[in-house]
C-alpha cells in the first residue's frame, strides 16, 4: 500500500476490528518481568556498539537507558496525540459513522498506550536501581506542540506513526536477542499503530494550508531535537551513575557524538525519511517532499 491508495475510514475501521485486541495487563505484571540481562532496544536505534571503549555490560546498560528513554518519549508524544485526535473527531461527529468510530478507537488505543508505557517505565525504575531523568513534563510538551497549526501537528504525528512501524519491522520483529517483554511491548504497539498511520494520512489530507504548516512541522522537529540534546545529558548522567564508569574527555565526546546521531535517527531521521511520510507530503505539494528530502539526511 502507498499513501496514494484510496483510504477510507470504513476500510480502516474494518482492519482495526480484525486486529486482535490486547490489554496492558496481558503484557506486563505478575510473572512478566523485564530481563535486565538482555538488551531492550535494537542496535540500529541504540547505537551502543559503536562505543568500543565501553565493555559489554556497560553497553547493555546504555542500551537499557535508551529503552527507558524510548518509553518516556513515547509517553510524551502519546499525550499530545490523544487530545489532537479527539479534537479532530469532535467537530464532525455526525458526518460519517465510520470516521467517528475509527478516530475514537484510535484515541482509545493511544490512551491505552500512555498507560502501557507508564507501566513499563515503572517496572524499569523499580528494577534498574539507578534513577534516570527524562525530559518533560508531558503537559508542557503537549502545550508547546498543540499551539502549532493542526496540519503541522498531523504531519508530526504521521512522522511518528511511520517511524514506529519502521522501528519494529526493521529492528525488533526478527530480533531474538532482545528482552522478550520489551519486544512484546514494541510488537503490540506496532499492531495498533499500523492503523493510526493510515488514519493520520486521512487527517493530513483533510487539513490544508500546506506551506506554513510544513514550516511549523520543521519547528516541531527542532523542538524535539533540542529535547533530545537534553535527554542525552540525562542518559549520560544515568549511565555514569548506573555503571560507575568514568569517561575520558575523548571518550565522552565520542559517546556524545555516537549517541546524538543514534537519538536523532531514532526520533527524527527514521520518520522524516520514511517513504510513506514522503508520499503523504508529496500529495500535499511536491515541493514539500523536496524540502523534507533536503533536511532528512542531517538526521540519519
- Bridge partners for 178 per DSSP: 39
Complex with Fe ion: residue 48 or 114, whichever CB lies closer: 114
Q: With respect to Fe ion, which residue has the nearer C-beta, 179 or 193?
A: 193
113 interacts with Fe ion by CB under 5 A: yes
Phi, psi of 29 (to 5 degrees): 115, 160
Shortest spacing between CB 68 and Fe ion, in angstroms: 17
CA-to-CA dists, residue 99 to 12, 81, 107, 143, 199, angstroms: 9, 17, 12, 26, 9
SS3 state of residue 6: coil
Quick one: which H or E segment has residue 73? helix 56-89
Least separation in angstroms between CB 33 and Fe ion: 23
Q: Determine the Cα–Cα distance for residues 12 and 108; give it in Å rounded to an integer.
A: 15
Site string for Fe ion, 172-211 (x = CB under 5 A): ---------------------x--x---------------
Query: Whole-angstrom Cα distance, residue 66 to residue 106?
Result: 27
- Rounded to the nearest angstrom, the gap between the alpha carbon of residue 60 and the centroid of all alpha carbons in its chain is 21
Q: How far is the CB of 281 from Fe ion (least distance, A)?
A: 18
When the beta carbons of 79 and 193 are compared against Fe ion, the nearer one is: 193
Contacts with Fe ion: how many residues (CB under 5 A)? 3
Count of all residues that appear for the chain in the document: 300
- Tell the smallest beta-carbon distance from residue 256 to Fe ion (Å): 29
Q: How far is the CB of 118 from Fe ion (least distance, A)?
A: 12
Residue closer to Fe ion (CB basis): 59 or 167: 167
Nearest distance from C-beta of residue 189 to Fe ion, angstroms? 6
Residues 215-254 that bind Fe ion (CB under 5 A): none
DSSP secondary structure code for residue 28 in this structure: S
- Asked if 88 contacts 24 with a C-beta cutoff of 8 angstroms, the reply is no
Which of 60/196 has CB closer to Fe ion?
196
Nearer to Fe ion, 75 or 238 (CB): 75
Q: Enumerate binding residues for Fe ion (CB under 5 A).
A: 113, 193, 196
Amino acid at each position: 500500500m502507498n499513501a496514494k491508495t484510496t483510504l477510507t475510514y470504513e476500510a480502516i475501521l474494518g482492519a482495526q476490528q480484525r486486529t486482535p485486541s490486547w490489554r496492558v495487563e496481558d503484557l506486563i505484571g505478575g510473572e512478566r518481568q523485564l530481563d535486565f540481562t538482555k538488551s531492550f532496544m535494537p542496535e540500529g536505534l541504540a547505537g551502543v556498539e559503536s562505543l568500543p571503549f565501553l565493555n559489554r555490560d556497560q553497553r547493555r546498560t546504555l542500551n537499557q537507558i535508551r529503552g527507558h528513554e524510548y518509553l518516556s518519549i513515547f509517553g510524551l508524544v502519546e499525550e499530545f496525540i490523544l487530545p489532537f485526535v479527539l479534537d479532530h473527531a469532535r467537530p464532525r461527529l455526525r458526518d460519517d459513522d465510520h470516521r467517528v468510530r475509527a478516530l475514537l478507537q484510535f484515541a482509545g488505543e493511544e490512551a491505552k498506550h500512555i498507560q502501557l508505557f507508564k507501566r513499563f517505565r515503572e517496572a524499569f525504575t523499580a528494577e534498574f536501581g539507578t534513577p534516570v531523568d527524562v525530559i518533560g513534563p508531558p503537559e508542557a510538551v503537549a502545550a508547546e506542540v498543540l499551539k502549532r497549526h493542526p496540519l503541522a501537528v498531523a504531519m508530526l504525528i504521521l512522522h511518528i506513526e511511520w517511524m514506529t512501524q519502521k522501528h519494529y519491522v526493521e529492528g525488533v520483529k526478527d530480533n531474538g536477542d532482545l528482552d522478550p517483554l520489551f519486544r512484546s511491548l514494541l510488537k503490540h504497539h506496532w499492531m495498533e499503530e499500523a492503523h493510526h498511520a493510515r488514519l493520520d494520512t486521512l487527517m493530513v489530507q483533510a487539513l490544508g494550508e500546506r506551506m506554513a504548516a510544513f514550516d511549523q512541522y520543521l519547528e516541531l522537529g527542532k523542538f524535539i531535537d533540542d529535547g533530545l540534546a537534553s535527554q542525552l545529558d540525562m542518559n549520560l548522567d544515568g549511565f555514569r551513575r548506573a555503571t560507575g564508569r568514568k569517561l575520558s574527555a575523548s571518550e565522552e565526546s565520542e559517546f556524545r557524538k555516537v549517541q546524538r546521531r543514534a537519538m536523532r535517527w531514532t526520533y527524527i531521521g527514521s520518520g522524516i525519511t520514511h517513504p510513506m511520510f514522503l508520499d503523504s507530503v508529496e500529495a500535499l505539494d511536491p515541493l514539500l517532499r523536496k524540502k523534507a528530502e533536503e533536511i532528512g539526511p542531517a538526521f540519519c
